[in-house]
């Protein structure tokens, strides 16, 4: 049996994230992803070079995006011999891409790979309803001009021209992610004050990371933007308290607001992974190692909590690795909503949940807050769905390379009731 190789995280690059409709209003998934891959190529001397595989994706897609990963890598100047695979697992897309590549590197199938993601709400596809869609298809299929005109006009009503707005609602429940998270917050007794405090901490940690220059070598300028435009160094509890509920506006008990929820965001990010031999042969750094991961799902349509699947993924991953929370130095928990993080933390120390849902005889335990998202996370930086996993993985690798700590845990919740988790270990 072939001995598994260690999977090195060489480094990462991302464009600054931007709130929807702002700096990247004229950008596309392809242009942003191409900029990121080009940035990685420049940073690590890969222009014209073959990388064994690029896996990338986007959650909000146009049909014109075609094979997004392949087109972006060609735009970025990688060798045309580099294959590109487009995949999507909602907000876990680029972290799952990294895990897929890591498995191939570890088993010796490939020596190098780039995991990436891109998403834009500023360039969301606007489509027509099925009746007008079929009318256009039938007209296109007609042979003669007269038949085309007949297919297009017969029974036509101007109501068919009403566009179908993009929807973020879960198809199995009809509820948005925010509405689902409101239900979770109520179930777990998460207060508005707790959520606001977590959001303020995220912004302050992110702002401090900028001040200390942590992001200087992680960002690639795009469309004139040089830093994330959602980070608020002046975030405070007083300002947070003025915001009204965003998802439960009628009951008088809503706790999720625009301040303690991630904004709709545009952006892209990528991470370069490799075998140790490949990296060393090119004189490239090894910041950290991606050691293992886990993907899980739950029965959210029947009450398990849409964004609670990371509790399962983390539990199963740690059990297989023979580790516990005491073995983890940093916890990078994606902040889709402050309430999601807080529900997760509460579940891991709840005996009934750990027994009934996680199948554990004892609780996973409590996590020291000073170990969580020490450089800020999605509430501050923003959340371009498919790009978030690579942002977190790149940040985590750099964090471990600059600190005398051994191990970090990553957790990302996704739409569709899934969660993606990973473990990263220091190369020092």
Q: Which pLDDT tens digit goes with each residue over 94-131?
A: 999 999 999 999 999 999 999 999 999 999 988 888 99
Per-residue pLDDT reduced to its tens digit, 62-97: 888 889 999 999 999 999 999 999 999 999 999 999
* Cα–Cα distance, 284 to 287 (Å, whole number): 10
Catalytic residue, from 181, 222, 354, 413: name it: 413
The reported pLDDT for the residue numbered 1 is 54
List, in sequence order, the alpha helices (H) in 289-408.
309-321, 338-348, 351-356, 378-381, 388-402
Which helix (H) or strand (E) covers residue 128, if one does? strand 127-128
Per-residue pLDDT reduced to its tens digit, 209-262: 999 999 999 999 999 999 999 999 999 999 999 999 999 999 999 999 999 999
pLDDT > 70 in the chain, percent = 100
List, in sequence order, the alpha helices (H) in 357-412.
378-381, 388-402
For residue 136, which of 161, 167, 166, 110 has the smallest C-alpha distance?
161
Q: 30: Cβ–Cβ under 8 A, 6 or more apart, which residues?
A: 65, 68, 71, 72, 75, 118
Q: Is the pLDDT of residue 40 over 80?
A: yes
Can 134 be counted among the known catalytic residues? no
Helix (H, G, I), strand (E, B) or coil at 252: coil
pLDDT > 90 in the chain, percent = 88
Region 275-299: what's the mean pLDDT?
A: 98
Catalytic residue, from 203, 215, 334, 383: name it: 383
| End-to-end alpha carbon distance in the chain | 28
The reported pLDDT for the residue numbered 45 is 98
Region 5-18: what's the mean pLDDT?
A: 98
Region 314-343: what's the mean pLDDT?
A: 98
What is the chain's mean pLDDT, rounded?
A: 96
DSSP string, 46-62: -TTPPPS-EEEE-SS--
The reported pLDDT for the residue numbered 428 is 83
Per-residue pLDDT reduced to its tens digit, 130-139: 999 898 899 8
Contact 312, 413 (CB under 8 A): no
The reported pLDDT for the residue numbered 59 is 96
Catalytic residue, from 91, 181, 222, 343: name it: 91
pLDDT level of residue 19 (50, 70, 90 thresholds): very high
Can 413 be counted among the known catalytic residues? yes
């Amino acid at each position: 049996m072939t001995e598994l190789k260690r999977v090195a995280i060489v480094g990462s690059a991302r464009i600054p994230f931007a709130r929807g409709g702002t700096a990247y209003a004229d950008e596309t998934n392809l242009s942003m992803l191409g900029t990121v891959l080009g940035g990685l190529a420049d940073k690590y001397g890969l222009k014209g070079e073959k990388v064994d595989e690029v896996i990338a994706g986007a959650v909000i897609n146009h049909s014109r995006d075609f094979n997004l990963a392949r087109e972006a890598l060609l735009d970025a100047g990688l060798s045309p011999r580099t294959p590109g695979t487009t995949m999507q697992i909602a907000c876990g897309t680029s972290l799952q891409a990294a895990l897929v590549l890591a498995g191939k590197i570890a088993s010796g199938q490939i020596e190098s790979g780039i995991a990436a993601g891109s998403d834009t709400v500023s360039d969301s596809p606007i489509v027509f309803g099925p009746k007008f869609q079929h009318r256009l298809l039938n007209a296109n299929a007609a042979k003669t001009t007269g038949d085309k005109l007949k297919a297009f006009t017969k029974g036509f009503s101007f109501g068919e021209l009403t566009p179908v707005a993009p929807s973020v609602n879960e198809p199995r429940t009809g509820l948005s992610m925010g509405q689902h998270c409101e239900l979770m917050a109520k179930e777990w007794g998460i207060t508005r004050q707790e959520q606001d405090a977590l959001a303020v901490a995220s912004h302050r940690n992110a702002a401090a990371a900028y001040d200390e220059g942590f992001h200087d070598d992680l960002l690639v300028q795009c469309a004139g933007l040089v830093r994330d435009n959602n980070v608020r160094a002046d975030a405070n509890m007083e300002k947070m308290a003025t915001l009204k509920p965003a998802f439960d506006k009628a009951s008088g008990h809503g706790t999720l607001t625009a301040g303690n929820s991630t904004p709709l965001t545009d952006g892209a990010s990528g991470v370069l992974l490799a075998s140790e031999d490949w990296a060393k042969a090119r004189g490239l750094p090894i910041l950290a190692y991606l050691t293992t991961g886990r993907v899980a799902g739950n029965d959210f349509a029947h009450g398990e909590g849409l964004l609670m699947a990371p509790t399962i993924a983390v539990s199963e991953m740690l059990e297989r690795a023979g580790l516990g929370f005491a073995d983890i130095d940093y916890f990078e928990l994606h902040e889709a909503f402050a309430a999601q993080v807080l529900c997760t933390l509460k579940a891991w120390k709840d005996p009934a949940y750990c027994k009934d849902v996680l199948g554990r005889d004892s609780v996973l335990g409590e996590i020291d807050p000073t170990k969580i998202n020490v450089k800020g996370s999605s509430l501050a930086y923003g959340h371009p769905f498919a790009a978030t996993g690579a942002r977190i993985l790149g940040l985590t690798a750099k964090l471990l390379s600059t600190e005398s700590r051994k191990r970090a845990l990553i957790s990302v919740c996704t739409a569709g009731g899934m969660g993606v988790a990973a473990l990263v270990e220091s190369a020092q």
